[in-house]
Structure 1
Amino acid sequence: MRNFFLVFKQSFQERVTSKSYLLTTISLILISVLAISLPSILDNFSNKKEKVVVLDQTANITVEELNQGLRSWDWEEGSEDKLETYKKDAQAGDILGLYIISAVDNNYTIEYYSKSSDVQLNSELTSYIQTKKIQQIALKNNLSVADQQTLFTPIEVEKQQFTAENEASIFVTYLMLMFILMAIMMYGTTIATGVASEKASRVMEVMVTKVNPLAMIFGKIFGIALASLVQFTAFFGAVALYLKSGIVKPAESLGNFDLNLSALTIQHCVYFFIFFLLGYFLYASIYAVFGSMVSRPEELNGTTMPVTILLMASAFSGILFVIDNPTSVLAKVLAIFPFTSPFNMIILVMKNAASGLELTISILALVITTFALGYMAAKVYPKGILHFGENLKLRQLLTRQS
């Protein structure tokens, strides 16, 4: 146990004190803060009101009413003697437009001069004038108060969610899957690189013959796992504090995608954490084996390609086969099979389609497979560390005598 903690401590300290670790942590926090703030920043720029000059020849519409009813623009009352000046300003783009409202045969007409036709402005102004017209007709014909209220009751338009209130949006689920994929690839590659680099260390040649390989391999995996948790805690903690500060309000959507973050529960977060860690331990063991197969770190990309393909296939199997039909037999199988379960069981949890038995079986299968692969990695790890020269094949590594 003492050897395990020595390797664990050395792996953790080596990781958290590296420049790349610190730069990655700071970059993740800054990028996330910028991404959260971006909708508010863009909204502030888009809320800058453009000036519109209105010349009302009916004496029924006031600039005060327009500024209260159509608040997206800055309305200014014009005068007849400056008509040509307003036209020049509109043509030059100094004002958004000049709108002349007049009445002909008990009907309103709108003429406007604008360098670029603003469809939203024209639509909202037309609707507003139409409402004024109906209001005047109602008063002229002495309609009852109830009838007038019926005429002017606005039509309710309410956006509905594609998902239930207690179900996180698909986009949030996508983000979780991509987070797990990128994190496992990043830290798994770190383990493979560390194992390959250790071949140049004479200390490791001595340690691998004196220390229990199981303690060495799991010490390294758990040490880097703790470093990753520290990094993610710093990341999520900084983002949470930023949101809690109230400087910005989280966006309810990102582009055309609903976020629906309010549907996330503590249970969702706990299961996400569990399957992320188990998935990391599983693939970290595989990366350690493949890292011991090469002679130099530069050769890792080609050697670890099968692991990368397996990771990508596991992540996208959920997007292709599970997320649209989480109750199917294929979805249940993919959520229990150890290599695909870290991604697919998360989808079932987010869709509220996972039973307690399925979660238990999936977690047990992951734990058993992880320890089996860790044991195998511990067996082949010393062989790979002590081998120099031509790269080993996986079959050679498994059958090679110590």
Structure 2
Amino acid sequence: MNKFWIVLWHTYMTKLKAKSFLITTIITSLFVFAIANIQHIIEFFTKNDKTTVAVIDTTGMFYEPLEEQLKQEKHDDLQLKKMSGSEAKAKADVRNGKWDALLILSADDKQLPKAEYYANTIADSDTPSKLEQALQQLKTALATAKLGLTQEQIAQLYEPVPFEKVALEKNAKTEEELNQARVLVYVLLFAMYMFVLMYGGMISTEVATEKSSRVMEILVSSVPPLQQLFGKILGVALLSLTQFAILFAVGFAALKSSGQELWKFLGFDHLPVSTFVYAIIFFLLGYFLYATLFAVLGSLVSRVEDVQQMIMPVMTLVIAAFMIAMFGLGAPESTFITVTSFIPFFTPMIMFLRVGLLPVPFWEVALSLVLLTATIGLLAFFGSKVYRGGVLMYGKAGSWKDMKKAVQLTKK
């Protein structure tokens, strides 16, 4: 067992000291800090940034109401400037940069406002969208006034339809719990997707690198293949947890400095503890499942350049599981989602999706965990044999037939 820890710590420390890991961690930490303070960053760069729109009101009726409507909607970054000159001169001023845009107001056959918007480019959709929204509100107010409707009648007209959702099952989640659960499920699905692809590929590359340097021949003769296999898997897992802990600490500190609480920021304050327990269980089992496959396949190639080609089928499985889970977010009770949640390669994502959103019977969760654990055990047993023979195979390797050769080598 001592040799297992040697492999684990060697893998962990080698990757921890690598420049690529340090640079990636620093860049990602800066990104997390920026995301946590995105509102302050946007306000800092846009606090003095105002868009000035010249307005020609051909009717003389709509400019003041439009200006008042924009104030009510608190579009402080949008400033109107009433013009009395010709359209040609106003358009020339826009071309020369005196004004950011030109708005010409006129009336239709029902004496309601219509507008034409001119700018050097119409790539900016924010400003015309705000103006259009304000004009729409103004048009609605004028139209209802012409019909003689009171403010109470207008408010009643636009009042939302009462629509209450009630779950009949005893343990069904409330609407608030479901909304928070969807966020957690989406975060975990995306994290597992990135986690497996990023660190699973790292495991394959690590094995292939040692094999190409012939160090593997010495290791295999002194360390049992199962210990070596899981030593590398756990070593990379420990590395990833280290990186996640750093990023979590940076994100927590950034949110705290901006005056926000982490739990309320994420919106998980009404979720039951069992949901988080299931999240950890499925996350870890999903990692071990795919990491074992990545390590085994990495042992079959002799060059690092061949790793991507060899692990492509496993990456396809991960992508397929993620896409199915995205579909399941909108239809978690569908038969397709229920069936795929029991397929071990999809279970970590799909079953957690169901557990997070539905009152799934415990026996279904237990059965999926048994199948998943058994699959990991079989992969570890078979993978250790392939691993032991695979690390002794050199030359071109790029097909699954090489697994048979690897197993045959272990019998010699």
Per the normalisation by structure 2, the TM-score is 0.72
DSSP 3-state at the match of 1:295: coil
Distance (Å, rounded) in 1 between the aligned partners of 2:24 and 2:106: 59
Question: Residues 223 and 249 (structure 1 numbering): CA distance in 2 closer, same or farther, change over 3 Å?
Answer: closer
Gaps of 5+ in 1: 139-146, 253-258
Cα deviation code 1:38-71 (max 9, x no counterpart): 677668759845356688978xx69995675354
1:342 to 324, 348, 356: 348
Going from structure 1 to structure 2, the CA distance change for 1:296 and 1:150 (only over 3 Å counts) comes to closer
Q: How many residues align?
A: 377
Asked if the contact 2:37/2:254 (under 8 Å) is kept, the reply is no
After TM superposition, the structure 1 = structure 2 runs for residues 24-35 of structure 1, keeping only pairs within 5 Å, are 24-34=24-34
- Does the aligned pair in 2 maintain the 1:213–1:382 contact within 8 Å? yes
2:229 counterpart (210, 217, 221) = 217
Paired residue type of 2:134? E
CA drift at 1:393: 0.8
Is the 2:11–2:235 contact (alpha carbons within 8 Å) kept by the matching residues of 1? yes
Structure whose CA Rg is larger? 1
1:356 to 1:201, Cα distance in 2 relative to 1, 3 A:
same
Question: Quick check: 1:66–1:75 contact (8 Å CA) kept in 2?
Answer: no
Q: Is the 8 A contact 2:69 2:134 kept in 1?
A: no
Contact 2:112 2:143 in 1 (8 A): no
* Pairwise CA distance, 1:136: 11
**What is the aligned partner in structure 1 of residue 403 from structure 2?**
394
Aligned partner (choices 357, 363, 379) of residue 363 of structure 2? 357
Q: Is the 8 A contact 1:91 1:113 kept in 2?
A: no
CA distance in 2, matches of 1:74, 1:180: 46
| Offset, 1:379 | 2.8
Q: Which residue of 1 aligns with 2:309?
A: 302
**1:3-402 matches, cutoff 5 A:** 3-34=3-34, 45=46, 48=50, 50=52, 68-69=71-72, 71-72=74-75, 73-74=78-79, 83-84=84-85, 88-89=89-90, 92-93=93-94, 94-95=98-99, 115=118, 118=128, 120-121=130-131, 124-125=134-135, 127-128=137-138, 131=141, 150-151=152-153, 153=155, 155-156=158-159, 164-168=175-179, 173-174=185-186, 176-201=188-213, 203-246=215-258, 266-319=273-326, 322-389=328-395, 391=397, 393-400=402-409, 401-402=411-412
Gaps in structure 2 of 5+ consecutive residues = 123-127, 166-173
> What is the deviation of 1:354?
2.8
Distance 2:316 2:285 in 1: 19
Aligned partners of 1:97, 1:249: CA distance in 2, in Å? 44
Counterparts of 1:113 and 1:385, CA distance in 2 = 71
**8 Å contact 2:54–2:90 — kept in the other structure?**
no
- Percent of aligned pairs sharing the same letter: 28
Aligned residues of 2:66 and 2:138 also touching (Cα < 8 A): no
Q: Determine the C-alpha separation between the residues in 2 that align with 1:282 and 1:275.
A: 10
1:278 is matched by which residue type in structure 2?
L
Range 114-123 or range 201-210, more displaced: 114-123
Tell me, in whole angstroms, the C-alpha distance in 1 between the residues paired with 2:378 and 2:112: 80
**1:349 partner letter:** V
Match of 1:144 in 2: none
Aligned amino acid, residue 230 of structure 1: T
Residues 144-166 of structure 1: CA distance to partner in whole angstroms, max 9, x if unpaired? xxx96625647345999999321
**C-alpha distance in 1, partners of 2:103/2:246?**
54
Paired AA for residue 20 in structure 1: S
* Contact 1:345–1:354 under 8 Å retained in 2: no
8 Å contact from structure 1 (residues 335, 344) kept in 2: yes
Alpha-carbon distance between aligned partners in 1 of 2:162 and 2:22, rounded to the nearest angstrom:
43
Deviation at 1:304, TM superposition (A): 2.2
* Partner SS state of residue 393, structure 1: helix
- Please tell me whether the aligned partners of residues 4 and 231 of structure 2 are also in contact (alpha carbons under 8 angstroms): yes
Distance 1:227 1:83, change over 3 A: same
Alpha-carbon distance between aligned partners in 2 of 1:201 and 1:111, rounded to the nearest angstrom: 74
Q: CA deviation at 1:368?
A: 2.8
1:50 is paired with a residue whose SS is strand
Change (3 A) 1:233 1:137: same
Q: Distance in 2 between matches of 1:273 and 1:18?
A: 28
CA distance in 1, matches of 2:332, 2:147: 57
CA-based RMSD = 4.5
